[in-house]
Amino acid sequence: MRLLRNLVILFLFLAPVVALSALRPGDLPESSKWYFHIDFKEMRSSEAGQHLYAWLQDEVFEDIRDDAGIDLDKEADFVTAFATEDDGMVVVIEGDISQDTEDRLLAMGAASGSLDRFGSGNNAFFHIKDDDDDEGNVDIDIDSFDDGAYFSFAVKNKLLVTSTREKMEALLADKGRIKTVKSEKGALFVLNAERNLMQAGARAGDLGDNLDWDSNILRNTEQAALLIADKAGKIAIEAQLVTTEAEMAESLASIVRGLISLQVFNDEMDPEIASFLQNTSVDVIDNKLTISVALDPEVVVAAIE
């Protein structure tokens, strides 16, 4: 569906199923390969977040309204996604999901001729599969949904989307809650702040097939995490890499500092990007490399654009 494709735009430009204003360590299955969580509710209410939210309204939400007729601006408070080794991908839109939105999604699926219904009542869900010969409304363009997507409105105020039937049935049986592990050992780490706007993280090895990163960096990085938060009216951005050994963290820090020094005096660089680099700090503690910056929201939005 175009809605699913456009959700990926959110992941990319601002770079599971829980009713949380922020993601915390231990909230994800231990086998998670990556996660993403965005808090639209906090964006709408925070001083700095409102600038990012206004950009989303113009650049992302409008496209979703045009493609799918769904007003994500009015209906979504949180979007959470994650993928695990065995259960595929899960996406959740949480908020005031209207009957009109449900009707439009079902109509889009029915028009494609590939909509199937399963279960009933509080366990009802649907499957929709992209048809290469279809020129209608269905456009699933995410690897995890090569076999189609399962979606359900059965849990109040949530739109659940999964890549497997088994995961959807398990979520509905647990009323949309994720079964997590008791121990955090081996789980992805999660960055937090007082006013989280967006959180994301991944095991570096699972990004190798999708990102054109230098292989040496990937080979020596175990995990990566990103946090965007409102800090005293500024947009605070923090990225962390956990490396295989402390020496590698120091080496990567030297590379990052060198790249920043080379670029910051580039006369051809946009002023917004130069400001971004000049205010960036790079720190290392043991095998953890932290890159952070806090900027006026107008500068961040200008850099994104």
**pLDDT tens per residue, range 27-79:** 677 778 888 888 999 999 998 999 989 988 888 888 777 776 677 788 889 88
Mark whether 13 and 76 lie in a shared domain. Answer: yes
Mark whether 203 and 138 lie in a shared domain. Answer: no
> For 194-233, how does the pLDDT look when each residue is reduced to its tens digit (9 = 90+)?
788 988 888 876 654 544 445 566 677 888 888 999 998 9
Mark whether 157 and 270 lie in a shared domain. Answer: no
Mark whether 205 and 262 lie in a shared domain. Answer: yes
Mark whether 208 and 167 lie in a shared domain. Answer: no
> For 257-304, how does the pLDDT look when each residue is reduced to its tens digit (9 = 90+)?
887 887 767 777 777 777 778 888 999 999 999 999 898 898 888 877
- What's the confidence (pLDDT) of residue 152? 93
Average pLDDT rounded to a whole number, residues 162-168:
91
Q: Is residue 16 predicted with pLDDT exceeding 90? A: no
Mark whether 279 and 141 lie in a shared domain. Answer: no
Is residue 104, in this structure, part of any structural domain at all?
yes
Is residue 164, in this structure, part of any structural domain at all?
yes
**Hey, what are 41's tokens?**
């509710």
Task: Find, among 116, 126, 115, 106, the residue nearest to 172 by Cα.
Answer: 126
| Helix, coil or strand: residue 151 | strand
- What's the confidence (pLDDT) of residue 180? 59
Q: Are 208 and 218 in contact (CB under 8 A)?
A: yes
Q: Are 130 and 148 in contact (CB under 8 A)?
A: yes
Q: Which domain holds residue 237?
A: 196-304
Taking the C-alpha atoms of residue 165 and residue 149, their distance in angstroms, rounded to an integer, is 9
Mark whether 103 and 157 lie in a shared domain. Answer: yes
Cut 0.85: pTM above it: no
- What's the confidence (pLDDT) of residue 49? 92
What is the total count of domains within the chain? 2
Mark whether 157 and 210 lie in a shared domain. Answer: no
Mark whether 25 and 115 lie in a shared domain. Answer: yes
Mark whether 162 and 247 lie in a shared domain. Answer: no
